[in-house]
Structure 1
């Protein structure tokens, strides 16, 4: 893998974790919003193949069609709604109350989303660290190239 490919993968990781953090922040912000359904971020592997892998496959007689080329990595695939029912409370005067006087509260558990946000933050930091390592490797390579 090239240094550029390593950077591309880390940048994808930064982007995916950033989008993931937005989802968790939105969940926490809506913890007291009646009928709000918690969103769960879904990440997936970037299925793009590197060009050299396609060429290597062709040399072995494997022809790949419909493939996009680029580095691997992680992508934010989207979000899914958490279908766990929210707590129902009896509050007949509430504007969101149903005909029986019950309000369905958000199903967000702030502790769960805070823990997920903390994990997301650590993954973001790990991707930043990889970028730092790649930067140092590139600088060392330049020093070697200059003879010293």
Structure 2
């Protein structure tokens, strides 16, 4: 039974970090047209308990992508300089969509693993009751 509990904990931590990742991807997509916006990325770190790797993960630091911002030519924009350019964002929608899809599929895989462990636990308890 402790192994099934570990599986539940591992898959729950996986779902939690993928949900966080989706939240940051959503922020990036929402701010794709915001001048000066830098894309956010989140890293994952393995949880270590008393020097032993548990296999569970947590979110690490949120980092800003330092790739150059797009220069947009619009002389009528209030942020435009004397040459008519202003800094856009460095969000690429295709990359964000791919990241969102990957996070969604990882979340679903963790959810299936969680459900399988839950069903196995339930079946084991049913057998023990007989």
With the length of structure 1 as denominator, give the TM-score of the two structures: 0.79
Hey, what does 1:19 align to over in structure 2? 20
* Residues 40 and 63 in structure 2, CA contact (< 8 A), matched pair in contact too: yes
Residues paired across the two proteins, number: 129
> Which is strand-richer, 1 or 2?
2
Hey, what does 1:114 align to over in structure 2? 97
Distance 2:57 2:109 in 1: 13
Distance 1:95 1:138 in 2: 61
With the length of structure 2 as denominator, give the TM-score of the two structures: 0.89
Give the superposition deviation at 1:135: 0.9
RMSD: 1.9
Give the superposition deviation at 1:100: 3.9
* Residues 8 and 71 in structure 1, CA contact (< 8 A), matched pair in contact too: no
Q: Rg larger in 1 or in 2?
A: 1
Where structure 2 has 5 or more consecutive residues not aligned to the other structure, the ranges are: none
Give the superposition deviation at 1:134: 0.7
Give the superposition deviation at 1:92: 2.8
Where structure 1 has 5 or more consecutive residues not aligned to the other structure, the ranges are: 49-66
Hey, what does 1:4 align to over in structure 2? 5
